[in-house]
A and B are shown apart, each in its own frame.
Chain A
């Protein structure tokens, strides 16, 4: 009897990690060669991993929801002797530590005293140092060899839904046959009263995917680009009327028209007049890169998290095409189907926090861009027109810019131009 470990393979040409989605086997289960063991999700796809060994599942070495590095053992299988299917046997290793600590196999790097510099690391010649084992949520211990907790039974779409809702399926009570979790069970679980147990305990959520990428991008942006934010309150009545007119126009039937479209036109027009704001600071080459195209990014809250897909070469689009492009961008993002190409290459961004009912913020730049415009909520407010106080539609704009390449004068002119355009879109379009 030999215990074989199956290490997470790179199933997609250059992947470094994958998330364990669903175990299809539990300790004690017999498995045949090529039986499906687990569903994993890589950056490219959800794929099934078939067993390279025939035998009995000894231990699962990674928990569902855990992100595992390629090359890390994920399951141990007891096989009868050295079958032909068995590559070089590995010693059975301890299950991964539950805390994010270096393991015993990974000693702290020792340094040797030398005359100059910081010393030579003892491990310097190790070409492929093992990465730190990813953390496991304490609430989700790896199953031991003798605990026979049955696997969670539910359908793949509900597993996806649970993931989107951030629900741990092991905590949902299943009312279906064999304890299967139904859609209703899942919804009841999410809307029902908070579980009485543990609600005072801090929760530790693994950081991965879009959350991880967002965090890295925001830190990089906030601590490299010196941000300045300016504010302007504008009378949006002209924009509101303009939007209404477009909505009634036959050419715009079936196209969603909103103030965001007018704001996009305003930003595009501002870039046309002040192209230096559609630019990037190139630290490595000590150059300012002025972009040829305006790839207009729109920050979107999606089921996957914050994404900023962009409309490529938006400055060339007729108004109707821009409206269609913005709608498609939003619809695709909401469905979680935004393609990587839509996320890269942005040059300037609009974020619309007004939809959440707030007035203004100090947005952080999308890395590699010089400006981001933030739209507040559209409000009915008293406004002075011809020395009379009258109710008007108003909005607060905030514009953050990278002070390395955009000075207060340029930033102010851009913001003022956007405001002027929104106050009188026909004026803005007439000057195009």
Chain B
């Protein structure tokens, strides 16, 4: 079985810091306009930028294909639930690609593009949503924690982990993903405060996708979320979350800032959730077609495609290769999903405690005997 191996070879950073990076009138760092033009102020080696762009595009494209296939599988009854990452690929891939492979990531539950970049395969990504496991993968080999469904809880987990990293004397940085809705949770404020007080090596990466299920950002907060960083004492950055190069540049800078002992940072990436909150949600009940249309014009993949075309960084062969790879990933996603079997309930007894005590063994045996008593 082929692995996705997105992070290999590691991409090289063509940017230095965030000073001098162009900004939009809103104040977002943006390197590429929505129609795919590179801002003239961007001062980076063009060859390195081209290589980086192609790598990031591949990651986004594969993620979208996996996401689409998983969505179809849900509609065909093969998954109980799926939360689409469509529209947020740039925010996820740009940020995860900017950190070191051993920097530890605490995701929320929609970071499929980031997980895929770290090498987590379709079977692992889907098993939780097929309802055959409580979580998808062993976090250690990927330095990528399991999904957290309790809103904003992962911010505290990440902060605790970062305090541990700090005490170990390691130079690992901890990155945690959360959304505009989670930002309203008390846990988010607590985590940022404790991280700042302790100068924890952390990046709080907020994907503000405009909607917390049906609650718009305007009903969550009066000021942009990244501005809270100033109150807690975090370095704050605001970036166009649909511009993968801008996300990459900003995340690289704040990660090195945190790694150098300067304390945590918050990045607010302004993006948009193109699908429903989940497959159980009907977004047409709360948002307008015009809004969707406006964001479709800011699609993160289309932006990179236009950029690559304009800069001569892509050709038919490159696009064809990625298309083939994406199709293969879709096939694999379907195949691995359908092969995921429900676990044997008797095994659950073995995973409660490290050493199975006598009582639990008896309960397991009683359950197995009871189950065997049925005719069918």
CB-CB contacts below 8 Å: B114-139 with A? none
Residues of B within 8 A of A12 (CB): 279-280
Whether A84 pairs with B282 at a CB distance below 8 angstroms is no
A48 at the interface (CB under 8 A from B): yes
A-B contact pairs, 5 of them (CB 8 A): A6-B76, A7-B77, A11-B280, A13-B80, A33-B334
Residues of A within 8 A of B75 (CB): 9, 11, 47-50
Residues of A within 8 A of B284 (CB): 45
**Chain B min CB distance to A396 (Å):** 40
Q: How far is the CA of A47 from the CA of B72 in the complex (A)?
A: 11
Q: How far is the CA of A172 from the CA of B144 in the complex (A)?
A: 57
**Chain B min CB distance to A389 (Å):** 55
Q: How far is the CA of A166 from the CA of B211 in the complex (A)?
A: 35
Chain B binding surface SS class: loop
CB-CB contacts below 8 Å: A1-43 with B? 6-13, 33-34
Q: How far is the CA of A10 from the CA of B76 in the complex (A)?
A: 9
A125 at the interface (CB under 8 A from B): yes
Whether B331 pairs with A10 at a CB distance below 8 angstroms is no
Whether A9 pairs with B280 at a CB distance below 8 angstroms is no
**Chain A min CB distance to B28 (Å):** 32
B74 at the interface (CB under 8 A from A): yes
In the complex, what residue of chain B is closest to A13 when comparing beta carbons?
Answer: B280
Residues of B within 8 A of A85 (CB): 334, 338
A55 at the interface (CB under 8 A from B): no
Q: How far is the CA of A44 from the CA of B277 in the complex (A)?
A: 13
Most buried by A among B69, B76, B279: B76
Residues of B within 8 A of A419 (CB): none
Chain B interfacial positions (CB closer than 8 Å to A): 69, 72, 74-78, 80-81, 279-282, 284-285, 331, 334-335, 338, 374-376
Q: How far is the CA of A322 from the CA of B75 in the complex (A)?
A: 43
**Chain A min CB distance to B194 (Å):** 35
- Please pick, from B77, B282, B334, the residue contacting A10 in the complex, using a CB distance under 8 A: B77
Whether B279 pairs with A87 at a CB distance below 8 angstroms is no
Q: How far is the CA of A81 from the CA of B284 in the complex (A)?
A: 39
- Please pick, from A8, A45, A50, the residue contacting B72 in the complex, using a CB distance under 8 A: A50
- Please pick, from A47, A50, A51, A87, the residue contacting B338 in the complex, using a CB distance under 8 A: A87
**Chain B min CB distance to A57 (Å):** 16
Interface pairs A-B: 5 shortest CB-CB: A9-B77, A45-B282, A52-B76, A12-B280, A50-B72
Residues of A within 8 A of B334 (CB): 33, 84-85
Residues of B within 8 A of A7 (CB): 77
Residues of A within 8 A of B335 (CB): 84
CB-CB contacts below 8 Å: A38-72 with B? 44-52
Residues of B within 8 A of A51 (CB): 76
Number of contact residues on A: which range applies?
20 to 34
**Chain A min CB distance to B209 (Å):** 19
Residues of B within 8 A of A44 (CB): 280-282
Known: A11-B280, A48-B75, A85-B338. 16 other contacts (CB 8 A): A7-B77, A8-B77, A9-B78, A10-B80, A11-B74, A11-B279, A12-B279, A44-B280, A45-B281, A46-B282, A49-B75, A50-B76, A52-B76, A84-B331, A84-B335, A125-B375
In the complex, what residue of chain A is closest to B276 when comparing beta carbons?
Answer: A45
In the complex, what residue of chain B is closest to A6 when comparing beta carbons?
Answer: B76
**Chain B min CB distance to A340 (Å):** 12
Residues of A within 8 A of B80 (CB): 10, 13
Whether B374 pairs with A125 at a CB distance below 8 angstroms is yes
Q: How far is the CA of A7 from the CA of B72 in the complex (A)?
A: 14
Residues of B within 8 A of A45 (CB): 281-282, 284-285
Q: How far is the CA of A51 from the CA of B69 in the complex (A)?
A: 12
Residues of B within 8 A of A8 (CB): 77
In the complex, what residue of chain A is closest to B376 when comparing beta carbons?
Answer: A125
Residues of A within 8 A of B78 (CB): 9, 52
In the complex, what residue of chain B is closest to A88 when comparing beta carbons?
Answer: B338
In the complex, what residue of chain A is closest to B374 when comparing beta carbons?
Answer: A125
Residues of B within 8 A of A10 (CB): 77, 80
Q: How far is the CA of A265 from the CA of B360 in the complex (A)?
A: 63
**Chain A min CB distance to B340 (Å):** 12
Residues of A within 8 A of B81 (CB): 13
Residues of B within 8 A of A46 (CB): 282
Q: How far is the CA of A176 from the CA of B294 in the complex (A)?
A: 31
Residues of A within 8 A of B374 (CB): 125
Q: How far is the CA of A33 from the CA of B335 in the complex (A)?
A: 13
Task: Given the known inter-chain contacts A12-B279, A84-B335, A85-B334, please indicate yes or no for A34 contacting B77, CB distance below 8 A.
Answer: no
**Chain A min CB distance to B58 (Å):** 22
**Chain A min CB distance to B109 (Å):** 15
Residues of B within 8 A of A6 (CB): 76
Q: How far is the CA of A134 from the CA of B285 in the complex (A)?
A: 29
Whether A49 pairs with B76 at a CB distance below 8 angstroms is yes
**Chain B min CB distance to A76 (Å):** 15
**Chain A min CB distance to B33 (Å):** 33
Residues of B within 8 A of A84 (CB): 331, 334-335
Residues of B within 8 A of A125 (CB): 374-376
Whether A34 pairs with B280 at a CB distance below 8 angstroms is no
Q: How far is the CA of A45 from the CA of B286 in the complex (A)?
A: 12
Residues of A within 8 A of B282 (CB): 44-47
Most buried by B among A7, A34, A47: A34
Q: How far is the CA of A87 from the CA of B77 in the complex (A)?
A: 12
Most buried by A among B75, B338, B374, B375: B75
Q: How far is the CA of A125 from the CA of B373 in the complex (A)?
A: 12
**Chain A min CB distance to B279 (Å):** 6
Q: How far is the CA of A47 from the CA of B69 in the complex (A)?
A: 16
Q: How far is the CA of A52 from the CA of B71 in the complex (A)?
A: 12
Q: How far is the CA of A202 from the CA of B74 in the complex (A)?
A: 41
In the complex, what residue of chain B is closest to A12 when comparing beta carbons?
Answer: B280
Residues of B within 8 A of A47 (CB): 75, 282
**Chain B min CB distance to A304 (Å):** 14
**Chain B min CB distance to A71 (Å):** 9
Whether A9 pairs with B76 at a CB distance below 8 angstroms is yes
CB-CB contacts below 8 Å: A103-157 with B? 125
Q: How far is the CA of A250 from the CA of B199 in the complex (A)?
A: 58
In the complex, what residue of chain A is closest to B80 when comparing beta carbons?
Answer: A13
Q: How far is the CA of A362 from the CA of B311 in the complex (A)?
A: 77
Q: How far is the CA of A20 from the CA of B80 in the complex (A)?
A: 20
In the complex, what residue of chain B is closest to A337 when comparing beta carbons?
Answer: B285
**Chain A min CB distance to B73 (Å):** 8
**Chain A min CB distance to B233 (Å):** 40
Whether B72 pairs with A34 at a CB distance below 8 angstroms is yes
Residues of A within 8 A of B77 (CB): 7-11, 52
Q: How far is the CA of A33 from the CA of B78 in the complex (A)?
A: 14
Q: How far is the CA of A287 from the CA of B160 in the complex (A)?
A: 50
Residues of A within 8 A of B72 (CB): 34, 50
